[in-house]
Amino acid sequence: MALTNEMTSLVQGLEDKLSALSGKDLLNDRYYEGAQRLEHIGLAVPPELRRFETSANACRITVDSVANRQKLKTFYLPDSDEASAELRDGWDANNLDSESQLLSKEKLILGRGFVSVGTNEEDKDHPLIRVESPREIAVDVDVRHRRMNAAARFYGDSVEPGRAEFATLYLPNQTLWLERGSGGWNVVDRDDHKLGRVPLVMFLNRRRLGRWNGVSEMADVIPLVDAVARTLTNLQLAGETHSVPQKYVLGMSKGDFVDKDGKPIPAWEAYFNAIWANANKDAKVGQFAASDLKNFHETTNHYMQLISGITGLPVRYFGQNSANPPAEGALIADESRLIQNVEAKNAEDGDSWGWVMGLYERFRTGEWVNGNRIATEWYNPATPTQAQTADAVTKMYAGGNGLLSLESAWDSLGWSEAQKKREWERRERESRMSLTMLEKDVEQEL
């Protein structure tokens, strides 16, 4: 069945939005993979020198250093003090411990990410939560209510923008699966879910008011990554030429470079001979001083320090290591800006994950849960410093007489709900064993 004119216009508008973003998305993807095209003074590197191109992939370090610390711990339903076992079960059923890491990386690379929620035909008790590729999705946003009027996913074998073979159109009350035909888009399947909302949630990086595309975490780093790549490429070229002492010879002609049989010696063989001997008494042989490549090293280190300052990542992340590793306290101080950055992103992403789990509950139970009131708890993004943390928690617990309860002490140590459950079960077994032994002792005395 063909789409209506109104729907066709909506799909075309969304496809145009995606096409407009495709160029920047491709560029950001190449920088993350370290496959960007290097330019020198406005001119691309000639093909014969491409083998010398070198890229220190600070873009990947910038993204992965943040994404690897974004680990969601649990959810709390509205008006509940206990972690929701149902939401955690849905999280685990959809492998979101690993899938959420993919979302974090895509959001940091491209500036945006998406998660869809839908019916799971294979497991009715666990609706399907799927992390979508932002390079395939375009959205129409209701700015006032901060939700989507419509969204579309374009996919297929064709990678050319605007030529996808298939599309999924997400609307507030229905989802349509489309196929591109000779005369336009045709509906091949539909789901009239009657949700009243688009079953898709958007995650934005560096969100700005009135802007709904996000900004790549690499945006400020890319110019400096290019500068580092140019410096390293020049270093390689210099290493192949100026770093080796150049020899010179005066008073000889091409005909003097012959072997004992009078045959010409190849240029490289003549150049690299350990001993230069000739019969021309007027010839003079010498060598130039080799170039010092220290300026390239210092320039590269300078650029890496600038990248460290911009990203808030410790300069040691970029290979600038000191002789002694930092102590625990110094480690936390060194990573303070990184930790604050991750915590800020967790706060924003936590809102979006709350909306995702609100949709999940609607599909699971048929009842709406206000996603704005589903609270998320994240693992501490700081580098674990076990000795310091354990000492502080022990003092605050103080054998049950301090500021913290036992379970709060476990929370402070970063234990998951599963860990706490296992520990309670083990303590209960130990208590039963102790009680059994005590009963036996009493019986023996009697």
The 10s digit of each residue's pLDDT in 383-426 is: 766 666 676 777 676 766 667 777 777 777 777 777 778 877 88
Lowest mean pLDDT among 74-78, 256-260, 370-374: 256-260
* Structural contact between residues 410 and 423, judged by C-beta atoms closer than 8 angstroms: yes
Please name the residue that has the structure tokens 């994950």.
353
In the predicted structure, residue 60 carries a pLDDT above the cut 70: yes
Torsion of CA 393, 394, 398, 399, to 10 degrees: 120
Percent of the chain residues past pLDDT 90, beyond the cut? 42
For 221-225, 375-379, 440-444, which range has the lowest pLDDT when averaged over its residues? 440-444
Residue 325 pLDDT: 66
Please check whether residue 273 lies inside any domain of the structure: yes
Contact 377, 73 (CB under 8 A): yes
Three-state DSSP class for residue 198:
coil
| pLDDT for 345 | 96
Residue 160's closest CA among 18, 32, 12, 7?
A: 18
**pLDDT for 384:** 67
**Is 260 part of any domain?**
yes
Is the model's pLDDT at 126 over the cut of 80? yes
With a cut of 80, say whether residue 286 has pLDDT above it.
no
How many C-beta neighbours within 10 Å does residue 19 have? 16
Q: What is the pLDDT of residues 70-101, one digit of tens each?
A: 999 999 999 888 889 999 999 999 999 999 99
For residue 256, being part of any structural domain is answered with yes
- Rounded to whole angstroms, how far apart are CA atoms 213 and 15? 15
Angle at 33 between CA 347 and CA 30, to 5 degrees: 95
What is the structure's pLDDT at 90?
94
Q: Which range (15-24, 54-63, 285-294, 436-445) has the least confidence?
A: 436-445
Q: What is the mean pLDDT of the chain?
A: 83
Hey, what are 242's tokens? 């100026």
One DSSP character per residue, 257-280 reads -B-TTSPBPPHHHHHH-SS---S-
**Quick one: three-class SS letters along 213-226?**
CCCCCCCCCHHHHH
Residue 114 has phi, psi (to 5 degrees) of -140, 145
**Average pLDDT of the segment spanning 36-51:** 64
Domain extent at residue 259: 247-287
Q: Is residue 255 part of a domain?
A: yes
Q: How many domains does the chain fold into?
A: 1
Max Cα–Cα distance, the chain, nearest Å: 119
Identify whether 282 is part of a domain: yes
- Evaluate whether residue 252 is within a structural domain: yes
Sequential DSSP letters for 170-220: E-SS-EEEEEEETTEEEEEEEE----SS-SEEEEESS-BTTB-S---TTTT
The single-letter DSSP state of residue 243 is: T
CA-to-CA separations, 2 to 16, 52, 90, 176, 189, in angstroms, rounded: 20, 54, 36, 12, 12
- The predicted structure's pLDDT at residue 364: 92
Task: Work out the average pLDDT over 251-274.
Answer: 63
Q: Count other C-beta atoms under 10 Å from residue 117's C-beta.
A: 25
What pLDDT score does 160 carry? 67
Helix, strand counts (H, E) of the chain: 12, 14
Tokens of 124: 């009715």
Separation CA 334–CA 23 (nearest Å): 36
Pick from 244-258, 316-330, 347-361, 370-384 the range whose average pLDDT is largest: 347-361
The one-letter amino acid code at 347 reads A
**Which of 73-77, 135-139, 204-208, 383-387 is predicted least confidently?**
383-387
Within-domain flag for 72: no
More confident residue, 314 or 418: 314
User: In the prediction, which pLDDT does 334 show?
Assistant: 85
Output the pLDDT for position 440. Answer: 72
CB contact set of 33 (below 8 Å; sequence gap of 6+)? 60
Residue 86 falls inside a structural domain? no
Tokens of residue 122, six digits: 């294979």
